[in-house]
Amino acid sequence: MGSDQYIRLSQLNDKIQDTINDRFRGQTYWVAADITNHSFKADKKNHYFELVEKAVSGNAITAKILGKSWGAGALRILDFEITTGQRFTNNLHVLVLLSVDYHPLYGLSVNLLDIDSNFMLGILEQQRNATLERLVRENDFIQKLADGYSTFNGRLPLPAVIQRVAVISSSSSAGNEDFRHTMQHNDFGYVFQIDDYHTVVQGDNNARLFLNKLIEVYTSGIPYDAVVITRGGGAQSDFLIFDNYNIARAAAKFPIPVITGIGHQKNISLTDMMAHTHTKTPTKAAEFIIAHNRSFEQRILSLQGTIALKSQQLFLKHYKELNELKSSISHNAAELLSGHKQRLMEIWQDVAHNSRKVLSNAQGRLLYTAQQTLQRPQYIMQQKRNELQYITANLKTAANQYLRAQNHNLQHYQQSIKLMSPENILRKGYAIIRSHNKIVNGASEIHEGEDIEILLKDAVLKSTVKEKIQYDGNHTDL
């Protein structure tokens, strides 16, 4: 094949570029698609991404093209992020203005020239409404009302006085500093216990960290009066975490009243809706708590004044009755004293008379007892002396009988020992056999061929065992 029968790749790409430029030059298209594979070069302000279209049912990709944006297009993306509060990133469904471009080296792509913020706001609102519907549908402690939402947390009664407060915020939050300053420098001298639970309060992907702090507050064992969520302003996208389903659900179910002071002015987050009390800023949250305590103090002061007034009225009303009662008590007391004085005199006379009688009787009994006491020891001594003589005589008799019995038993044991002695047994014709200088009492200790000694009453026989015949003890020739 000759050189005039083929072209170089660059020549083919040039032809494609010319064709595409001729076809799409000066034309732009509004396209709805999803963002994937997004990257951002911050130094050059360049965005690189892919636009994809997915099937209506399922996630299968039906179309895909490379995209990029810089210059004016990048500024339009920045405006989009500020307006919607949503960062331009992956998995967003967007409406974008595109122009078609072909580069011989980088291939076919599209340039993003503009992006419709209203389209995204509509999607975010749809997502927000869907989350609200899911919260009501899946949780029986959340009910939709005509003018808002009723939650378990919202129905909790606030303590009469709020003193112990747990604050969930960022460690570097200026809003938290504003909240603490307002609480600690209030005009009424109220003192609060404020415990910080720092976490990340932006970015929907940090919802788990935020939930962990709520759990930490619950498991701390500290009886908090309220939980305050604060955030000191920022980009609108920073507040999307508070539209997270799990965080809103946790706030709605939390067993301690939740007060929000997130610091955004445009709208109310789902967490605000689910919480007990929603305020615009951390400072407003502090002012709400102070005003709540002030209201309680004013009720107490008002009650104090009412009590004082009622007390004065009651005192004046009963003052005359008290005076009359005092006079009556004084008069009746004098009569009672006079009557009781006469009665006491009579009782004293009776006591004196009866006392003399009792003493006389007691003296007679005492003299009789003294006589009995002097005679009694002599009688007891004679009786005990007779008992001792009787016991002595019995002991002598018993001792003699015991000694005679024991002497008889001793003689019997001596006779038995003589009968069982080896010498007496040998005299009866029996013999004692010794093997290895030990007395044996059975054939199991003697073996054939061994030397043995046979002890008789008058001699010792030395012999050797020739044969051992077993004997069962049944022979009658002995």
DSSP 382-422: HHHHHHHHHHHHHHHHHHHHHHHHHHHHHHHHHHHHHHTSH
Phi, psi of 376 (to 5 degrees): -60, -45
Instruction: For residue range 94-153, list pLDDT tens digits in order.
Output: 889 999 999 988 889 999 999 988 887 677 777 888 888 999 999 999 999 988 899 999
pLDDT value, residue 235: 47
CA atoms within 13 A on the CB side of 446: 25
Query: Distance between CA atoms of 314 and 318, rounded to whole angstroms?
Result: 6
Instruction: For residue range 329-339, list pLDDT tens digits in order.
Output: 888 888 888 88
3-state helix, strand, coil in the chain (%, to 5): 50, 20, 25
Residues 162, 227, single domain; the answer is yes
Residues 202, 287, single domain; the answer is yes
Instruction: For residue range 279-322, list pLDDT tens digits in order.
Output: 989 999 999 999 999 999 999 999 999 998 888 888 888 888 88
Query: Distance between CA atoms of 179 and 261, rounded to whole angstroms?
Result: 9
The single residue listed with the structure tokens 């609480």 is 183
Domain end marker among 256, 272, 295: 295
Residues 87, 165, single domain; the answer is no
Tokens of 456: 């008789």
Tokens of 326: 């005092």
Domain end marker among 276, 295, 314: 295
Residue 147, C-beta contacts closer than 8 angstroms, at least 6 positions apart: none
3-state secondary structure 176-189: HHHHHHHHHCCCCC
* Domain limits for position 289: 144-295
* Among 241-245, 363-367, 378-382, the least confident range: 378-382
Residue 467, C-beta contacts closer than 8 angstroms, at least 6 positions apart: 448
Domain end marker among 236, 266, 295: 295
pLDDT value, residue 204: 56
Residues 64, 178, single domain; the answer is no
Residues linked to residue 455 through DSSP beta bridges, in sequence order: 432, 460
DSSP 8-state symbol, 241:
G
Q: Is residue 415 part of a domain?
A: no
Burial class (CB in 10 A: 0-12, 13-18, 19+), 198: middle
Residues 75, 161, single domain; the answer is no
Q: Is residue 407 part of a domain?
A: no
Q: Is residue 189 part of a domain?
A: yes
DSSP H or E segment with residue 137: helix 117-138
Looking at the chain, the whole-number percentage of residues with pLDDT higher than 70 is 93
Contact between 93 and 34 (Cβ < 8 Å): yes
Higher pLDDT, 461 or 428: 461
Report the CATH number that the domain containing residue 221 is assigned in CATH: 3.40.50.280
Residues 94, 234, single domain; the answer is no
Residues 80, 155, single domain; the answer is no
Instruction: For residue range 24-38, list pLDDT tens digits in order.
Output: 988 999 998 888 999
Residues 24, 162, single domain; the answer is no
Radius of gyration of the chain (CA): 60
Report the CATH number that the domain containing residue 95 is assigned in CATH: 2.40.50.140
Residue 165, C-beta contacts closer than 8 angstroms, at least 6 positions apart: 183, 192, 193, 194, 195, 224, 225, 226, 227, 228, 289
pLDDT band at 239 (very low <50, low <70, confident <90, very high): low
DSSP 8-state symbol, 442:
S
Q: Is residue 471 part of a domain?
A: no
Q: Is residue 351 part of a domain?
A: no
Residues 164, 278, single domain; the answer is yes
DSSP H or E segment with residue 95: strand 93-103
* Among 8-17, 52-61, 310-319, 455-464, the least confident range: 52-61
Helix or strand or coil: residue 55? coil
- Whole-model pTM: value is 0.51
Contact between 242 and 210 (Cβ < 8 Å): no
Give, in order, the Cα–Cα distances in Å from 169 to each of 205, 218, 267, 280, 295: 16, 16, 20, 15, 27
Contact between 469 and 444 (Cβ < 8 Å): no
Residue 192, C-beta contacts closer than 8 angstroms, at least 6 positions apart: 162, 163, 164, 165, 183, 184, 289
Residues 70, 155, single domain; the answer is no
Instruction: For residue range 247-283, list pLDDT tens digits in order.
Output: 999 999 999 999 999 866 556 888 999 999 999 899 9
Residue 30, C-beta contacts closer than 8 angstroms, at least 6 positions apart: 95, 96, 97, 98, 116
Residue 99, C-beta contacts closer than 8 angstroms, at least 6 positions apart: 24, 27, 28, 29, 110, 111, 113
Residues 148, 281, single domain; the answer is yes
Q: Is residue 29 part of a domain?
A: yes
Entry field: residues in the chain:
478
Burial class (CB in 10 A: 0-12, 13-18, 19+), 400: exposed
* Structural domain count, the chain: 3
Q: Is residue 328 part of a domain?
A: no
Q: DSSP states of 288-350 as a string?
A: HHHHHHHHHHHHHHHHHHHHHHHHHHHHHHHHHHHHHHHHHHHHHHHHHHHHHHHHHHHHHHH
DSSP 8-state symbol, 159:
P
pLDDT value, residue 203: 57
Q: Is residue 389 part of a domain?
A: no
Give, in order, the Cα–Cα distances in Å from 264 to each of 51, 108, 122, 179, 284: 32, 42, 19, 15, 12
pLDDT value, residue 34: 87
How far from chain centre, in Å, is Cα 413?
Answer: 85
Residues 52, 150, single domain; the answer is no
